Amino acid sequence: MLIWQESYFQSNPDTVRGDIAHQAVDRGGTLTGRAGARVWRSLPVHNDRLGMHGICDTVHLSADGPVPVEHKSGGYRPGGPADLQVAAQVLCLREMFGRPIPHGEVFAGRTRRRYTVTVDAALEAVVADSVEQLRQQIADPQLPPPVNDARCKRCSLQPGCIPEIAGHSRIDLFAPRPVGDHD
């Protein structure tokens, strides 16, 4: 939400590594991939029913149909945000192509392999719920409080988010402390 509502973004080594890793897919265009599949890079997609749009890193079109492949420079965590992202891409492609697309894939740069993400009714419901929650957050002029958990350590937004003060009011932080009251 800091990026969207406050236009705040700060690069760090992880975001720069991701930018470098994405240079090939961000060029756009088509090429021939594995087993003769046509590969679209940076393909714009949309789903009118859910009111979402985005850009797939690559979409591999074979005789079986299109398969979005989300490229990540690091590792892969099953059930993590990359699964949600590739599921949203599958839902966009299903609507655009008017055909069943059972899965997408996540390519993890750290392991140099692809992981299949099956998009079933349960994952589709999580995507729809996430889109609705995001829509509500965007409409709310107040930023949600930071979570201050393990994800913060490597987050590029940490300097502007200041998660270590989550749960403290301004009064708590700047109130005089009794002598001898140290952390």
Digit-by-digit pLDDT tens for the chain (183 residues) are 667 677 777 888 877 877 777 676 777 777 777 777 799 999 999 999 999 999 999 999 988 899 999 999 889 999 999 999 999 999 999 999 999 999 999 999 999 999 999 999 999 999 999 999 989 988 888 877 777 888 888 888 888 777 777 554 444 444 455 555 554
> What was the pLDDT predicted at 168?
47
Range(s) within the chain of domains with CATH label 3.90.320.10: 7-144
DSSP assignment of 93-118: HHHHHTS---EEEEEETTTTEEEEEE
CA angle 120, 123, 124 (to 5 degrees): 80
Q: Is 11 helix (H, G, I), strand (E, B) or coil?
A: coil
DSSP state of 80: S
Name the packing angle between helices 121-139 and 81-97 (round to 10°).
100
Pairing of strands 38-47, 52-62: antiparallel
Of the options 3.90.320.10, 3.40.630.40, 3.20.20.150, 3.30.420.40, the CATH number for the domain spanning 7-144: 3.90.320.10
> What was the pLDDT predicted at 179?
55
